[in-house]
Amino acid sequence: MPTYTPPLRDMHFVLHELLQVSDELRQLPKHADIDADTINAVLEEGGKFASEVLFPLNLSGDQQGCTLDKSTHAVTAPAGFKDAYAQYVAGGWPALSVDPAYGGQGLPLVLNQCFYEMLNSANQAWTMYPGLSHGALECLHAHGTEEQKRLYLPKLTSGEWTGTMCLTEPHCGTDLGLLRTKAEPRADGGFSITGQKIFISAGEHDLAANIVHLVLARLPDAPQGSKGISLFVVPKFLPQADGSVGARNGIFCGAIEHKMGIHGNATCQMNLDGAIGWLVGEPNRGLAAMFVMMNAARLGVGNQSLGLTEVAYQNAVAYAKERIQMRSLSGPKQPEKPADSILVHPDVRKMLLTARAYAEGGRALAIYVALLLDKELNSDDEDERRECADLVALLTPICKAFITDNGWIATSHCLQVFGGHGYIREWGMEQYVRDARINMIYEGTNTIQSLDLLGRKVLADNGKKFKKFGKLVAEFIEEEGVNEAMQEFVNPLADLGDKVQKLTTELGMKAFQNADEVGGAAVDYLRVCGHLVYGYFFARMAKIALQKQGSGDPFYTAKLHTARFYFTKLLPETAGLIRTARSGVSPLMAMDEALF
């Protein structure tokens, strides 16, 4: 059976030693009283909930899955999920980082980020039930009417109700401009909405008293394409003025998708048959309003793979230490045993260190972006808010795509460490691989993220946002350039920074001649940028580890070893990626369609 221990020591390192979050938050009036002790106490309790309540339900939830009663359209989650959700609500966890004006605790997003990493390690499928509620809440907070906020936000904050986003349809995929769901005006000011939505995570379940669906649909006079999409709030049960639930609305689950992974979460086909909804924001501006929720979801999906990477690594390490098989090539290392543990074999260590490095690099990035969001939302300095917003926009597609790509690599490696046992359900590893694979697809495929990064976030503003991150890298390199002990980290980071800058310029010139060049290079480009970001954080973490390795704490020795592994074994991947990005689009597009 798999096990899970919340990685509190590494979280503390990133929060307090790498990013100095207490000092950063102290500059924000809203969070000025948040100190390290408060952060650590919340995370300790959150870790207990994740490991003691959620984790024991992960394997059984995957095996049992969800059930749909077609006569009533009711979905029942796996055994134990509803009770775990009740404990989650009773503990006040849904309100952790929500506006106190609606019943929230007002704690920083960076704290919620760490909490959700642990939830995802413990049970990604369960975590998806409350996972989208924060995005729905923020979307209504930003674009809803005062009446909508009064009705929905307190319930979403408390966790009494959950939220979803109903975007795509069977014929759409990512191209939401093709959606056909209709919204007809009603005499009472609402709208009658009819259509079908698919792939709706937690679209129907028995955990909460109501489900608040945010639905994209077209008004009768809407223009074609994405410019004709409006956003509507469509509750499962119509809310009464006093906040209680009333009549059942005309939005039902028609089927549950039978998926490769995340079996414990109900991924639903949702049918709307004259469902009553209310416009959120301006007519035909629904996609822009929904992006509040979509961007939050993209960061959340990156966090899902971060959680899976961590728990897969923990279990693979434990197995490698106990499993004996063959002898070390350089001679027996455990002669008292009939064979050595597989941890003596270099390639087993490579697989484990790859997962460890991707977990630690992803954690540093995810927490950093959450801190940027706290500053963007709460700083008194308009320039700082704008600076943070630009960095968040730049790093969001990297969080989503790079962390999830790495999660797929890491969980696959960790399964490989188990050998044949990795394929056996009781060990839990094959579930992590299956669960990790969806994260590269939903909330915008990783190719979409790559196109967003190169096309919209880098080339569209002539590299303005990219240069802001580049400035951080350059400043660090300048500070540490004369530090002899840091050369093994600074030199490859500086070299990659220079190469990325040249590659960006080259791709921009090519794209000016042929826009398809962006599509030909984008996936490789994002991965190169991801390594630049991880390299920056690993260099900073290595600096701290070098300074503190004399303390006797083995944590710093391990951190330094992981950083060295990253720079020598993982960062060099960028050389091949840069070559393929430069090879252009011709090898991809030259072959006639008939030859495929």
Q: CA-CA distance, 419 to 4, in Å (whole number)?
A: 20
User: Torsion angle, CA of 301/304/305/310, rounded to 10 degrees?
Assistant: 160
Running DSSP on this structure, what letter comes out for residue 250?
S
How many Cβ atoms from other residues are within 10 Å of residue 248's Cβ?
A: 12
Among this protein's residues, is 517 annotated catalytic?
no
Single-letter amino acid code for the residue at 383: D
Residue 160 half-sphere exposure toward CB, CA atoms < 13 A = 14
Distance CA 511, CA 519 (A): 9
Angle between helix 516-548 and helix 487-513 axes, rounded to 10 deg: 170
Residues 160 and 130: their CA atoms lie apart, in Å, by 10
Gap between the Cα atoms of 547 and 543, Å rounded: 6
Name the phi and psi angles at 302, rounded to 5: -60, -40
The neighbouring-strand residues paired with 276 are 192
Give the integer Cα–Cα distance in Å for 360 and 587. 36
474 Cβ contact partners less than 8 Å away, ≥ 6 residues apart: 497
Q: Give the whole-angstrom CA distance, residue 512 versus residue 510.
A: 5
Sign for the CA dihedral angle at 399, 20, 24, 132 comes to: positive
Considering 169, 204, 360, 443, which one is annotated as catalytic? 443
Structure-token pair, residue 8: 């509190």
Q: In the 8-state DSSP scheme, what is residue 334? A: -
Q: How far does the chain reach from its first CA to its final CA, in angstroms?
A: 45
How far is 390 from 371, CA to CA, in rounded Å? 13
Residues noted as catalytic:
443
